[in-house]
Chain A
Amino acid sequence: EPEVTQTPSHQVTQMGQEVILRCVPISNHLYFYWYRQILGQKVEFLVSFYNNEISEKSEIFDDQFSVERPDGSNFTLKIRSTKLEDSAMYFCASSPGTYYEQYFGPGTRLTVT
């Protein structure tokens, strides 16, 4: 069964450093998403991506965040200058269409020290 994969599973970085989180969505899906979940809190929408551009973004997704689909399979989230409060689990998801369910990856746990 196709699944969304994410790498790395755990990333530790120092405050101020740049990180890139990687995702491989399900191959025939058209919509891609990033979410974050701070420990013990709700899953929060960051950004949706369709047709090689951002279709929606939340207030959390400020100028320090960017997304890219560099080739036909990968979808990345870059955080330019990490802050302590960026420590969270980051989930990638993909969907075959805008009104369809999303399939989530296993997440990347980001720890900023």
Chain B
Amino acid sequence: EDQVTQSPEALRLQEGESSSLNCSYTVSGLRGLFWYRQDPGKGPEFLFTLYSAGEEKEKERLKATLTKKESFLHITAPKPEDSATYLCAGKNTGNQFYFGTGTSLTVIP
């Protein structure tokens, strides 16, 4: 069964305290691992797509990496405005996307 698991469920960081979010996946014939940010009451906002193991992408304080079994979202020196829920999703060989339950990040000033 295709699925995506994220950990931790919630993470509280002090401003400037770097950390990583984990996304483990079992998606048949993965055709892309996607990271999104979701603010309360809003739709997910696209951050990154990773297609193959070893691939890395960066945007401001965020860096996403991918292995054959998991993906990490590294947050370097976070700011309060980075507080949100971060979602990852895997796409299978069809056109179905499987989302994890997300990691709720709170960055304390």
A interface list, Cβ under 8 A from B: 4, 31, 33, 35, 41-45, 48, 50, 55-56, 58, 91, 93, 98-107
Contact = CB atoms under 8 A, between A and B. Distances in A.
Contacts, number: 55
B46 A43 contact: no
Main secondary structure of the interface of B (DSSP, over half): loop
Contacts of B41: 107
Contacts of B89: 43
B99 A43 contact: yes
Contacts of B101: 41-42
A55 B95 CA distance: 7
Nearest to B94: A56
B96 A56 contact: yes
> Which 7 pairs across A and B sit closest by C-beta, in order of nearness?
A104-B43, A43-B99, A56-B95, A48-B95, A101-B46, A42-B101, A55-B95
A106 B99 contact: no
A104 B95 CA distance: 16
B102 A42 contact: yes
Interface residues of B, number: 24
B51 to A, nearest CB: 8
B44 interface: yes
Contact of B44 (A48, A55, A91, A100): A91
Interface string B31-44: 11010100001111
Contacts of B95: 31, 48, 50, 55-56, 98
B105 interface: no
A58 B87 CA distance: 19
A71 to B, nearest CB: 23
